[in-house]
Chain A
Amino acid sequence: MATAGISAVAPPVSGTEPPAPSPTSGVGEPPPSGTGLAHPSRLRVLARWEIALFATFVAVFVVGRVLSPEFLTSYNFLSMGLSNGELAIMAVPMMLIVVTGEIDLSVSSTLCLASCLLGFLWVHGWPMPAIIVVVLICGAFLGAFNGFLVTRVGLPSIAVTIGTMLLYAGIGEMLLGSNIVSNFPAAYTNLGIYSVPGIGLSYSTVIFFGLALISGVILHFTPFGRSLFAMGANQEAAIFSGIRVKRTKTILYIFSGIVCSGTGILYTFRLSSAEYNNGQGLVLSVVAIVLLGGVSIFGGTGSMVGVVFAVLIYSGLLDALLLTGFPQQASGIVIGGLLLLSVLVPSVPEFRSRLRAGRHRLWGQPPETAIAHNGSVAQPRLTGDSSSKVGQGGQPI
């Protein structure tokens, strides 16, 4: 940590509403008064973002229905939930972590290690309930290790979790090697492929909605949840206003570890196989969903509602493409395009204002911040300019 010495102290932002995914430019405008982050127009932008997601969601489902009569059937909802449930569940802790300005790229590897550990212990004759408990505890430790490195050692979370992504998946590979464990009892594997009785949705879908609801309520309506936005918007300010940033982040990483190892159990039961490459490559999809949901990669903004809609759009779109015979692998074009739009659209107003300001402002940036008297660089005014956010948040972007 030890950030206080260099960055100037910014006003506390706890209690302010999360600003829009992309802040408007400070170029050519007077800096907003007050905290600089709570700007009424940003609230409207945020509201528009959720509405845009909702409209996209409706459009996807209408188009899906038009293109294929099977789209809006209960069977299809079940299969959609089955194929995207794990991604959706992992998006919840990922969202909370991204809101605090960190990231967890080890989620899919935690899933992989949980799956391998499950298979490993099962081969060694452990009873299934005990295995599940051990796997979840193991997940908590994996998350705690991430949290320790990020908060106590003070390492950048993106580098740490790329490292633990390799490490955890590697440990999973060590446990199982090239073996594939698939002789799980049907009572458990049925959990992975059947729907919850009376609801018609997969277990993973129900767990996702439950988790999203609880996390959403905590995130948006409790002091603990609001503190996540505060530390994501301005970590120093959060520390100075008495928020226990390190402890909170560690808790979130542990939560992520537990949830992802639980997801690993579900994943194993769904495929009824534990092998070393389970969950490989899921992590970037999880990140994509969270960002599509309007959560800023710099932290400090976003809403759980947005992420839920992003999950629905993602799975609805993939499924509609699948049903209409679009080559499944090429669906990345659509997902990536959506993700790109989700960051480009909110930055259009800023881009236009810069265009109006003149060409040189498009290329470079005019000097607008004063040099402090002692020759050190003055803290940029809190105009919400994304580049000044970079300096404070310490994000690699």
Chain B
Amino acid sequence: MSSPDTALVQATGSPQRLVDMVFRLREYGIIVVLIVFIAVTTSIQPRFLHQQNIMFVLLNATIYALLALGETMVVVSRQMDLSVGSVLGLSAYVSSNLFGQVHGIPIPVVFLAGIGIGLVCGVVNGAITAFARVPGLVVTLATLYIIRGIDFSIVGGGEVVASSLPAHFTAIGSDSLDGIPYVTMVVAVVIVAGAYFLRSFRSGRELYAIGSNPDAARLVGIPIARRVFTAYVASGAIAGLAGVIWATYYGLVDSTAGTGYELTVVTAVVVGGVAIFGGSGSAVGAAFGALLLSAIATALYVLGVSPFWDPAFDGLLLVLAITLDRGIAVRLAEVMRKRTFRHEP
């Protein structure tokens, strides 16, 4: 594909700046779309900006945005993690079930347990993908089933109900400061940190290089297997953390928690401007993608549109987003080709 990511590797000088600018535009674009969407919805129904609605939008987006951070790390390196929904479900049940099994267990330990479960799942995904050189899509499709199956066999027909959870724990998912939940703030910090890592750290940049052109990445000596492995481990650990947050938020955990999240997360990531073939996009953009999807769902509800319309809007948004990306990519490639010719003697 003659997408800009391939061109990016070859670009030098001013085309490079142009590419940077366009990708930054893409990231700001999703923010502009979000603002316009909120403005339009609010002008139709001012109730949309009610504190409770804002909180609802943010809480809903928090879990998806967090998952989107891990998914972004994997997707920019031209892989995919389909197991996040299952990891979330397993982590949510096992961690929240600890309260019933170990009396008086401290909440941080529960969080660590959830992250640990995710970490183990991520290690399995990453090890198989990176070292057996099996496509990550297939591996995580398999672990999606396996982890969900393990979840089912642990949970059976049981469930964890909110009454069995300590009030401090469920408060994490609901307490807020002026309509902005604390958990959202923490997650936002995590996402910014993750985005900073991807943007400014050597190993983060190398993930983009791998996704942009695996052969070139290998040539410049990037340890592809190790980086991909790390990306999967990070994605797993983040999904584990998201599972605990899920439990604090919903309070009721059964064996179906997080079913089908994987494709919604991929949708958010792609809407947020991360190229599905890897090589470009940012975690902040992906988080805004998740926020936009969440805002649409709430807006439909507030506007009195049937919630059944929500998936259709999401799907349309995704198709529009990638069509737009494609258009930009084609234009960019044209401009760059012209410039390259001009610079060459």
Known: A173-B308, A369-B219. A330 touches B152 (CB 8 A): yes
B106 within 8 A of A: no
Whether B308 pairs with A391 at a CB distance below 8 angstroms is: no
CA distance A153 to B317 in the complex (A): 16
Please give the distance in Å from B5's CB to the nearest CB on chain A.
11
Whether B78 pairs with A327 at a CB distance below 8 angstroms is: no
Whether B214 pairs with A333 at a CB distance below 8 angstroms is: no
Choose one: B78, B132, B318; the contact of A390 (CB below 8 Å). Answer: B78
Known: A164-B319, A170-B312, A397-B137. A387 touches B146 (CB 8 A): no
Q: Which residues of A contact B215 (CB under 8 A)?
A: 369, 377, 380, 387-388, 391
Please give the distance in Å from A348's CB to the nearest CB on chain B.
8
CA distance A330 to B156 in the complex (A): 9
Most A Cβ at <10 Å: residue of B78, B141, B156: B141
B224 within 8 A of A: yes
Whether B219 pairs with A371 at a CB distance below 8 angstroms is: yes
A386 within 8 A of B: yes
Please give the distance in Å from B197's CB to the nearest CB on chain A.
21
Whether A178 pairs with B145 at a CB distance below 8 angstroms is: no
CA distance A91 to B86 in the complex (A): 24
Number of interface residues of B (CB under 8 A): 74
Whether B323 pairs with A153 at a CB distance below 8 angstroms is: yes
Q: Which residues of B contact A245 (CB under 8 A)?
A: none
Most A Cβ at <10 Å: residue of B75, B78, B136, B255: B78
Q: Which residues of B contact A339 (CB under 8 A)?
A: 138, 141-142, 145
Please give the distance in Å from A215's CB to the nearest CB on chain B.
22
A interface SS class: helix
Instruction: Give the interface residue-count category, chain A.
Output: 35 or more
Q: Which residues of B contact A9 (CB under 8 A)?
A: none
Choose one: A22, A166, A335, A387; the contact of B214 (CB below 8 Å). Answer: A387
Whether B223 pairs with A364 at a CB distance below 8 angstroms is: yes
Choose one: A105, A364, A388, A395; the contact of B222 (CB below 8 Å). Answer: A364
CA distance A380 to B144 in the complex (A): 33
Whether B134 pairs with A22 at a CB distance below 8 angstroms is: yes
Whether A170 pairs with B128 at a CB distance below 8 angstroms is: no
B79 within 8 A of A: yes
Closest A-B pairs by Cβ, 4 of them? A170-B312, A167-B315, A166-B315, A336-B145
Binding site for B on A (CB under 8 A): 2-3, 5-6, 22, 105, 149, 153-156, 158-160, 162-171, 173-174, 176-178, 276, 280-281, 284, 287-288, 291, 297-298, 327, 329-337, 339-340, 343-344, 347, 350-351, 362-365, 367, 369, 371, 376-377, 380, 386-388, 390-391, 394-397
- 14 A-B residue pairs with Cβ-Cβ distance under 8 Å, sorted by A, are A160-B319, A162-B270, A164-B315, A166-B314, A167-B318, A280-B260, A291-B141, A327-B153, A333-B146, A343-B139, A344-B134, A347-B133, A351-B132, A362-B225
